[in-house]
């Protein structure tokens, strides 16, 4: 069973990019299975920071195959910019493969995202405005375009029909669009995209499985943004849980081995939606500054708060997490006290599962308090060297979640990584 899956367990930005890049040498193939340019995955090594949006985080290991799976929505314009940016580092992309069944984001998807959000007023989702929702709507509505369509003779015709459909939708909004300029930029980017390896990725991946190659499936958005199980409607439009790796790559569940769950030592969220442990005070601001908690895709300040164990247990339950990776512990190094939410108080009662409704005004987090470790973790070289207050914090998380922590991350660089067997 050679397929491992790596998932963020919170609201995104857990450090998925860093970990995939770190683990990549253990695998022959890395595959993205959902999401699109809404993702911002950061990798740091040799003093350089890279932010990837659509390209899998194994791309800096040139002998490893990197696959963009059928569950992804791909924007050719963003793709072109990413390729141009990465080309400066001399990457060849010979091992980058794109599913013919992945959906295409067209420029009007981005505009629809914007006008829909504007129309929602203070109920807006806080979308990244990358066209994700409208593109997945077209996929489910069965009139989307796929990567495989790009090389067909009738592609321009199909494209025009989709744009006409979008023009009708846009007619309901007062929004000026320069379609000619958009089309020009789009088709220029499409020409570049067509030069890449466009494959039947489900066969490609299953062939690799049959050959016994090991595969790491890289989740894009966090579990609490899952279309079914996240804090709906404040979610993204794809399946970010383990099952998404099966449908987003064409991999049968029987091939899944480990399911790695990544979490920060605290919580963050970008965009709207409930966040019960949010800190709107100086500690929240401190965590934001210390952790550089600003969106990798949009630059928006991330909302910050304490760890929310019921939400984490829920995310772990729906995906069957087998190993935990605890990220960004260094951000809490100097705090006197750290809190963890273990339940929610309402009218004197404690609930231990996250509420599914979005009006949470009468819920208060029930916190367990921990003393801080008050020392720098950045230079630590092994689990044994962890300060005892941090070890206790980790044990508490492990006991509550019933899953062990196998990796602790103490900084953004590849080198700032402590690992137990995994
Ligand atoms: P992703 O979307 O899950 O890949 O995460 P992002 O890249 O959006 O956000 C994680 C941020 O934290 C990036 O800026 C990383 O460079 C950074 N990061 C990752 N791990 C650590 C860590 O252990 N400590 C610190 N201080 N930063 C980290
Ligand atoms: P990574 O891969 C954090 C959030 C948006 C918004 C909601 C819907 O870096 O973890 P969308 O553009 O998908 O329609 O937005 O989901 N969101 C993310 N938040 N990290 C991400 O990706 C996100 N991708 C989407 O802020 O609240
Ligand atoms: Mg991110």
Ligand with minimal distance to 293 CA: 1
Expressed in angstroms, the distance from the first to the final Cα of the chain is 15
Within 320-374, residue ranges assigned H as helices are: none
**Model confidence over 141-175: pLDDT tens digits?**
999 999 999 999 999 999 999 999 999 999 989 88
- Ligand 2 atom closest to Cα of residue 8: 10
The residue annotated as part of the active site, out of 4, 13, 21, 113, is 13
Query: Among 15, 37, 409, which is best to mutate for testing ligand 1, by the most ligand atoms less than 8 A from CB?
Result: 15
| Residue 41: active-site member | yes
Q: Which two tokens stand for residue 304?
A: 């910050």
Residue 399: per-residue pLDDT: 98
Q: Which two tokens stand for residue 2?
A: 């050679």
Nearest Cα to Cα of residue 56 among 300, 293, 220, 247: 220
Q: Whose CA is nearest to atom 5 of ligand 1?
A: 13
Residue 358: per-residue pLDDT: 67
- Ligand 2 atom closest to Cα of residue 238: 13
Give DSSP secondary structure letters for 369-397. EEE---S--TT--SGGGS-HHHHHHHHHH
Nearest Cα to Cα of residue 98 among 140, 132, 59: 59
pTM of the model: 0.97
Q: Is the CB of 219 under 6 A from ligand 1?
A: no
Helix or strand holding residue 287 (H, E)? helix 282-290
Residue 243: per-residue pLDDT: 98
The alpha carbon of 274 and the centre of ligand 3 are apart by a number of angstroms equal to 19
Q: Whose CA is nearest to atom 21 of ligand 1?
A: 412
Query: Among 113, 127, 219, which is best to mutate for testing ligand 2, by the most ligand atoms less than 8 A from CB?
Result: 127
Contacts of 103 (CB under 8 A, 6+ apart): 72, 73, 74, 135, 136, 138, 139, 144, 145, 146, 147
Q: Which two tokens stand for residue 266?
A: 């605290």
Half-sphere exposure of 19 (CA within 13 A, CB side): 33
**Model confidence over 271-315: pLDDT tens digits?**
999 999 999 999 999 999 999 999 888 899 999 999 999 999 999
pLDDT at 362 over 90: no
Ligand with minimal distance to 264 CA: 1
Q: Whose CA is nearest to atom 24 of ligand 2?
A: 38
**Model confidence over 308-358: pLDDT tens digits?**
999 999 999 999 999 999 999 999 999 999 999 999 998 888 988 888 776
Largest CA distance in the chain: 66
Q: How confident is the model at residue 1 (pLDDT cuts 50, 70, 90)?
A: low
Residue 297: per-residue pLDDT: 83
Per-residue pLDDT averaged across 181-201, rounded?
97
Q: Is the CB of 410 under 6 A from ligand 1?
A: yes
The alpha carbon of 128 and the centre of ligand 2 are apart by a number of angstroms equal to 6
**Model confidence over 20-42: pLDDT tens digits?**
999 999 999 999 999 999 999 99
Q: Whose CA is nearest to atom 2 of ligand 2?
A: 39
- Ligand 1 atom closest to Cα of residue 409: 23
Per-residue pLDDT averaged across 84-108, rounded?
96
User: By percentage, how much of the chain surpasses pLDDT 90?
Assistant: 91
CA 111 to chain centre: 22
Whether the Cβ atoms of residue 407 and residue 326 lie closer than 8 Å to each other: yes
Q: How far apart are CA 185 and CA 106, in angstroms?
A: 10
**Where do we find the tokens 């997490």?**
321
Q: Whose CA is nearest to atom 14 of ligand 2?
A: 127
Pairing of strands 65-68, 96-99: parallel
Q: How confident is the model at residue 422 (pLDDT cuts 50, 70, 90)?
A: very low
Q: How far apart are CA 384 and CA 420, in angstroms?
A: 10
pLDDT at 176 over 90: no
Give DSSP secondary structure letters for 84-127. HHHHTTT---TTEEEETTSEEPPHHHHHHHHHHHHHHGGG----
The residue annotated as part of the active site, out of 4, 21, 41, 75, is 41
Residue 71: per-residue pLDDT: 98
Q: How far apart are CA 268 and CA 262, in angstroms?
A: 13
**Model confidence over 59-90: pLDDT tens digits?**
999 999 999 999 999 999 999 999 999 999 99
The alpha carbon of 41 and the centre of ligand 1 are apart by a number of angstroms equal to 8
Give me the chain's average pLDDT, please: 96
**Model confidence over 375-394: pLDDT tens digits?**
999 999 999 999 999 999 99
């Amino acid at each position: 069973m050679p397929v491992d899956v790596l998932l963020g367990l919170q609201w995104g930005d857990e450090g998925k990019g860093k970990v995939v890049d770190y683990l990549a040498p253990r695998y022959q193939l890395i595959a993205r299975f959902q999401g699109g340019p809404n993702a911002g995955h950061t990798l740091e090594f040799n003093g350089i920071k890279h932010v990837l949006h659509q390209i899998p985080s194994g791309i800096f290991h040139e002998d490893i195959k990197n696959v963009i799976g059928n569950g992804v929505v791909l924007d050719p314009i963003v793709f072109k910019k990413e390729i141009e940016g990465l080309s400066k580092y001399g990457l060849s992309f010979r091992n980058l493969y794109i599913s013919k069944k992945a959906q295409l984001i067209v420029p009007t998807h981005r505009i629809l995202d914007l006008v829909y959000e504007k129309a929602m007023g203070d109920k807006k989702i806080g979308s990244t405005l990358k066209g994700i929702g409208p593109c997945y709507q077209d996929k489910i509505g069965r009139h989307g375009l796929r990567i495989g369509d790009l090389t067909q003779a009738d592609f321009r015709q199909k494209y025009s029909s989709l744009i006409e459909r979008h023009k009708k939708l846009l007619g309901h909004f007062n929004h000026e669009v320069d379609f000619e300029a958009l089309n020009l930029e789009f088709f220029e980017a499409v020409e570049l995209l067509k030069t890449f390896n466009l494959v039947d990725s489900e066969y490609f991946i299953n062939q690799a499985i049959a050959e016994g190659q090991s595969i790491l499936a890289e989740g894009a958005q966090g579990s609490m943004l899952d279309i079914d199980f996240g804090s709906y409607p404040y979610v993204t439009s794809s399946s970010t849980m383990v099952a998404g790796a099966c449908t987003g790559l064409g991999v049968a569940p029987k091939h899944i081995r480990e399911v790695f769950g990544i979490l920060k030592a605290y919580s963050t969220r970008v965009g709207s939606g409930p966040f019960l442990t949010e800190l709107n005070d100086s500690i929240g601001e401190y965590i934001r500054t210390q952790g550089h908690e600003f969106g990798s895709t949009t630059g928006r300040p991330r909302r910050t708060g304490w760890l929310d164990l019921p939400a984490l247990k829920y995310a772990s339950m729906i995906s069957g997490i087998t190993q935990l990776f605890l990220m960004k512990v260094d951000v809490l190094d100097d705090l006197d006290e750290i809190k963890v939410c273990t339940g929610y108080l309402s009218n004197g009662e404690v609930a231990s599962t996250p509420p599914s409704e979005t009006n949470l005004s009468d819920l208060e987090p029930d916190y367990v308090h921990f003393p801080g470790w008050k020392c720098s973790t950045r230079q630590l070289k092994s689990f044994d060297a962890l300060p005892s207050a941090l070890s206790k914090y980790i044990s508490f998380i492990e006991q509550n979640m019933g899953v062990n922590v196998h990796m602790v991350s103490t900084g953004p660089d590849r080198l700032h990584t402590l690992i137990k067997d995994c």
